[in-house]
């Protein structure tokens, strides 16, 4: 088992690339995976926190100007820029709304795990996850109403409590693991621990792809458009963020680029619930392809960005 997990950890980007495609071919397993979706999101965040040096998290927490600027960029500036770029294009309404809402979302919680796998600045990515996820209830509803004329009712207190329980729970579990597991043991089993995170992400890919295979055959044109738009939007957000924060150094700018491009569409979809039109749901499902495939495709680029950083 340990050898298998270490192999998953070593080949993480390639496994995830293949895994999201394979999820389309094993639809019966998707239904089985759906009940484990929440835990599959939770585990990678715990693993990232277990593997991180928490003193680096504290160092970033003592830089409020950086936190404010990156949070404002992710939650406010990015969706406005996306809206300005795509509005003249006349895209289908579901795709148009999906792109704007994607850009308005905080980073996915597994972005910290991706940053570890890609040798990026994982503590900075975790700071971006926590700060943006904490403030998104305050930014998402007014932006959705202003840019899309879409009413989003978020029970602010309930949402914040759930988010605090989710992120706080991850910190608590990670703290307990770090307390009772020897540091040398964690270091010796780092690849196997990463493998558990990869396995969790594969479970999430299976769950989110439920029913997508049928859509490929029913609406191939729209599906292809959504996939192309998802890749372009992810890459554009990463590139723009890299340029804006380049003064922090290439490694940190690339880390924040990953945070901005790998957006938590599942969180937005959960908030929208039955208000989400079918075409919007389809786009959010297709938006998982770049999240699972770009780490493998861009790994040489990330390596150049972090070299000698």
pLDDT of residue 153: 64
Q: Of 216, 274, 292, 268, give the one whose Cα is nearest residue 103.
A: 268
- Paired residues of 107 in beta bridges: 263
What distances in angstroms separate CA 259 from CA 28, 52, 71, 123, 295, one per listed residue? 32, 17, 10, 12, 12
Q: What is the pLDDT along the chain (309 residues), one digit of tens a residue?
A: 778 887 777 877 888 888 787 777 777 777 777 777 778 878 887 887 887 777 777 788 788 899 999 999 999 999 999 999 999 998 998 899 999 999 999 898 788 888 888 889 888 998 898 888 888 888 888 888 888 887 766 666 666 676 677 778 888 998 898 888 888 888 888 888 888 888 888 888 787 777 777 777 788 899 899 999 999 999 999 999 999 999 999 999 999 999 999 998 877 776 675 666 778 888 888 888 999 889 889 888 888 877 755
Residues with Cβ < 8 Å from 142, sequence gap 6 or more?
A: none
pTM assigned to the model: 0.83
CA–CA dist 4, 20 (Å, integer)? 19
Q: Are 295 and 114 in contact (CB under 8 A)?
A: yes
**What pLDDT score does 270 carry?**
66
| pLDDT for the residue numbered 81 | 96
Map out the domains of the chain as residue ranges.
2-304
Are 108 and 264 within 8 A, CB to CB?
yes
Query: Rounded to a whole number, what is the largest CA-CA distance in the chain?
Result: 57
- CB-count burial class (<10 Å; 0-12, 13-18, 19+) for 11: middle
Give dist(CA 216, CA 250) in Å, integer.
Answer: 38
Question: CB count, 10 Å around CB of 273?
Answer: 9
* Residues 6 or more apart whose Cβ sits within 8 Å of residue 217: none
- 2-304 CATH pick, 1.20.1530.20, 2.60.40.420, 1.10.340.30, 3.10.20.30: 1.20.1530.20
């Amino acid at each position: 088992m340990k050898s298998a997990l270490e192999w998953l950890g070593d080949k993480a980007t390639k496994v995830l690339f293949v895994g999201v495609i394979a999820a389309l071919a094993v639809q019966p397993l998707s239904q089985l995976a759906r009940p484990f979706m929440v835990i599959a999101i939770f585990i990678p965040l715990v693993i990232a926190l277990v593997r991180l040096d928490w003193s680096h998290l504290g160092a970033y927490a003592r830089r409020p100007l950086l936190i404010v600027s990156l949070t404002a960029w992710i939650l406010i500036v990015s969706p406005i820029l996306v809206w300005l770029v795509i509005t003249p294009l006349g895209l289908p309404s579901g795709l148009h709304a999906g792109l704007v809402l994607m850009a308005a979302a905080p980073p996915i919680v597994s972005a910290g795990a991706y940053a570890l796998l890609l040798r990026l600045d994982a503590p900075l990515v975790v700071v971006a996850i926590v700060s943006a996820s904490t403030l998104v209830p305050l930014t998402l509803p007014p932006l959705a109403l202003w840019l899309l004329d879409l009413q989003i009712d978020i029970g602010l207190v309930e949402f914040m409590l759930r988010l605090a329980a989710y992120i706080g729970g991850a910190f608590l579990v990670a703290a307990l693991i770090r307390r009772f597991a020897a540091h040398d043991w964690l270091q010796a089993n780092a690849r196997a621990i990463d493998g558990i995170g990869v396995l969790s992400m594969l479970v999430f890919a299976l769950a989110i792809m439920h029913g997508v295979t049928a859509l490929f055959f029913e609406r191939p044109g729209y599906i292809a458009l959504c996939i192309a738009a998802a890749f372009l939007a992810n890459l554009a957000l990463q590139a723009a963020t890299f340029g804006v924060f380049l003064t922090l150094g290439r490694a940190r700018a690339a880390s924040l680029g990953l945070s901005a491009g790998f957006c938590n569409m599942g969180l937005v979809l959960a908030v929208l619930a039955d208000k989400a039109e079918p075409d919007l749901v389809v786009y959010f499902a297709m938006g998982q392809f770049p999240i699972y495939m770009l780490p493998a495709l861009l790994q040489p680029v990330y390596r150049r960005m972090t070299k000698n950083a």
